[in-house]
Structure 1
């Protein structure tokens, strides 16, 4: 088994938690005072870490089975993507930017990946 942890540097852990809960749901756990971990899927985690000196330079993309359902859930929490793109093979990718400017892509579609 492999666990994956992908980290995103942020200016403020409190502000980041508020925003990322809208994107990813509730915090799974706090390993310390400057990190919050969100479970994207079983054994796959996204964590935000307070590192103001490099905040805003992170990026990652998650692929999901049902992009429309995921986007509807995120919209219900109050976030909308900054942009959306559809590739020639029908795969779609949406892009969200957190308050620091980090880019979080969420993609899906026919035979995504």
Structure 2
């Protein structure tokens, strides 16, 4: 059975948020379902999307674990976005968090080795 996962991030102003997310992900959206929603496929059958929803904006928490955390962080930094917070937990797992203009937290994590 195929399984698709969509994680939504509500934003106040879609047109203002879209360029920031293109910088964060390093590319344009994978598809645009409508005039106020953009979707990025971040892994096979795994999607993160933004949607204009001012009432809910600023409350999203999204975490993606990646194999290449340091490379990913360096690439995002080169594109002009710095992390808001970096945490290392017992056992060496690291979480690097970014925050959009609404206060939504988008994080990438990775383990040791």
TM-score, normalised to structure 1, is 0.93
Provide structure 2 residue ranges, at least 5 long, that are not aligned to the other structure: none
Q: How many correspondences in the alignment?
A: 111
Shift of 1:82: 0.3
Number of the residue aligned with 2:23:
22
Look up the SS of the partner of 1:65 in the other structure. Answer: coil
Q: 1:91 aligns with which of 75, 90, 93?
A: 93
Match status 1:43 vs 2:45: yes
Shift of 1:14: 1.2
Whole-Å separation in 1 of the counterparts to 2:23 and 2:41? 13
Deviating above 4 A after TM superposition, structure 1's stretches of 4 or more consecutive aligned residues are none
Look up the SS of the partner of 1:7 in the other structure. Answer: strand
